[in-house]
Structure 1
Amino acid sequence: MATMKDIARLAQVSTSTVSHVINNSRYVSDEIKEKVMAVVTQLNYTPSALARSLKIKETKTIGMLVTATDNPFFYEVISGVESYCNQHHYNLIISNTYGNEERLQQNVDTLVQKKIDGLLLMCSESTFPAGNPINLPLPMVIMDWWPTELNADKIFEDAEYGGYLATKTLIKHGHTQIGIITGNLTKSIAQNRLNGYKKALAEHHLPLNPNWIIESHFHFEGGIKGMAQLLSQPHRPTAVFACSDTIAFGAYHTAWQQGLSIPQDISIIGYDDIHLAQYMSPPLSTIHQPKTELGKLAVETLLERIKKPIENYRTLVLKPQLVERGSIAML
């Protein structure tokens, strides 16, 4: 493999001159430049990305640490992150912990060894054993949620407003008896969506039935079990706020198993607006999370901190929006 020394020897110039021509780091006359580039073409020389990264202490690589989940919301966010990394000419290394604390530390060590420029963190569930906080001399951005406090920028969605909007939508359709299936309530996002539900009920002077508040998990099985609990009540609600689309999908399945039709027998609204929501039968009304914007903002925030470190860490909040489809009956 050709080196700068080989080019310098054949072009009869110094190695530093070759470096300046290739990196465009200093003025070199057109005559010398043409001479050097002719040799570069002759030798089919390609600069070493590794050597360059060691020299400028930048690898143009971002790490992304995620926990295992069957929630398609996270895959859609990751896809957005990857797209914006490509637009900014950065490589992305995705590392999945599968909910294992030991694997978390191994993955962190591996990412550090690969000399990443910054790290994105996204945790799916509060059941993940967080252990000790991640203390790295790296720029970091938390997306959605992380179970421990870190020195990092944070990007959240306004979960309380989203929960309020979902519940208010059911109320606008005439529902006064509304159940909710939440994620694990040790997770702040789950708690905030529940708070939004309570706020909407209180605003419309509707009683809060504790039997209709079902704590579950943000996955399909959580929706199946949560809906079964709601439907086993002596007095059933007429509508259900499922705090994720995956919970809503599980709720659909349980309703179907029990011979109920949506929305004729029970109305359901989800949360996230994952791609599959529009293809449910009936199409799922849901709260749209700006997943593309989340990925874009996470990448741009991290790159900004990599290039221009800022003293104060920021918390950025995204606003969810309502998407109405066919899963809510008008009473």
Structure 2
Amino acid sequence: MKLAGTTISDIARRANVSKSTVSRVLNDKSVVNQQTRETVLSAAASLGYQANMFARGLASGRSMTVGVVTQKIGSPFYDMMMQGVIQGFTGTGYSPLFVDGQWEESTELEVIRALLGRQVDGLLLLGGGLPQQDLNELQEQLPTIVVGKEIPGWQDRCVYIDNFAGAYDATKHLLDFGHRNIAIVRGIIEHQDAVRRYEGYTAALQDAGLRVDPDLVLDGNFTAQSGIVGVNSLLMRGKAFTAVFCANDMVAYGARLALQRQGIRVPDDVSIVGFDDQAESAFVTPPLTTVRQPGVEMGAAAARGLVKVIQGQDCELPVLRPKLILRESVSRITIP
């Protein structure tokens, strides 16, 4: 039985490479062929090698940790992005530290200061509402990537989807199925996602030769409760509508519940479309037609990109196209 810990020499023999190559891989000091890197890391893992991360940080000037600021831990969509972040950092030597901004600017600033105090090597901001001036100052201090927002001047430092296109496709789907009185329950008014989704909704109506009826526009806040409140408001005012486009799936769940409580059937009487495609949306009754936002892929792409930025490499981040997922919450109606 070997009493001493696994050494670089052991890993080099197992991977059939030089000790200097093993050192470069384990310390991220220079670019190494990806296949060679994976071979070395696999050999290290099979031998049970555990690096002294504190000592490595002292030697390299890095902490080998990255701060990740999410919003509302427990939110299904942000949890998907965090799963992607974990996947993206796997095998890189970097460990994410997760904190919760709770959709409050002051809280977000507070947790970011705490991460800076921990000497993290970079930041991933999942959503959030920091002004661009604060974001620009952060970028000057250390590598920072924002997920879920498009920021002017931040080329290859943002990972986001085309929210306008997703909302346009969802609204057009309802129009194609004969709906004309289409209500919308929006998200947080100041939130970029909510703004772009509302713009997509209005553009689809206008392209169909319809005006936007302000009485069918309800303000929400991305919660199921706001879906309940929005639909109840329409029903109490006696406003005619045959479909509801919801800012996200949580809002759609609330809208469906409000309709059910009034004996209104989905989709026989009113159709519903959501946004995000949470895992539960395939199993609610009826299964929800929604716009898939690839949260896991967004988080993974951002994590991989941030590692490249920290290491001084070029980083190209994708703009991801959402996909309309057709299920059973929309029915066709006859146009009079």
* Superposition TM-score, scaled by structure 1 size: 0.79
Look up the match of 1:168: 172
Q: Deviations over 1:233-270 (max 9, x none)?
A: 32321001001001101111111121211101110000
| Contiguous gaps of at least 5 residues in structure 2 | 8-18, 26-47
> Is 1:225 paired with 2:226?
no
Once the two structures are superposed, the pairs formed by residues 19-30 of structure 1 within 5 Å of their partners are 23=23
Counterparts of 2:255 and 2:198 in 1: how far apart (Å)?
Answer: 17
Once the two structures are superposed, the pairs formed by residues 1-331 of structure 1 within 5 Å of their partners are 23=23, 48-68=52-72, 71-123=75-127, 133-134=134-135, 135-136=137-138, 137-145=141-149, 153-308=157-312, 316-331=318-333
Q: Deviations over 1:16-47 (max 9, x none)?
A: xxx9799479xxxxxxxxxxxxxxxxxx9975
Give the number of equivalent residue pairs.
293
Instruction: State whether residues 122 and 146 of structure 1, in contact with CA within 8 Å, keep that contact through their aligned partners in structure 2.
Output: no
Instruction: State whether residues 157 and 318 of structure 1, in contact with CA within 8 Å, keep that contact through their aligned partners in structure 2.
Output: yes
Counterparts of 1:70 and 1:228 in 2: how far apart (Å)?
Answer: 27
Q: Deviations over 1:73-119 (max 9, x none)?
A: 11111111112212433211101133445543432232123222111
Counterparts of 2:62 and 2:198 in 1: how far apart (Å)?
Answer: 43
What letter matches 1:202 in structure 2? Q
Distance 1:309 1:156, change over 3 A: same
Counterparts of 1:279 and 1:249 in 2: how far apart (Å)?
Answer: 11
What letter matches 2:332 in structure 1? M
* Superposition TM-score, scaled by structure 2 size: 0.78
What letter matches 2:159 in structure 1? I
What letter matches 1:323 in structure 2? I
Q: Secondary structure at the match of 2:175?
A: helix
Work out the percentage of aligned pairs sharing the same amino acid: 28
- RMSD of Structure 2 on Structure 1 (CA): 3.1
Distance 1:282 1:87, change over 3 A: farther
Q: Which has the larger radius of gyration?
A: 1
What letter matches 1:330 in structure 2? R
Distance 1:203 1:85, change over 3 A: same
What letter matches 2:196 in structure 1? N
> Offset of 1:220 from its aligned partner?
1.3
Q: Secondary structure at the match of 1:304?
A: helix
Distance 1:320 1:304, change over 3 A: same
Counterparts of 1:46 and 1:158 in 2: how far apart (Å)?
Answer: 41
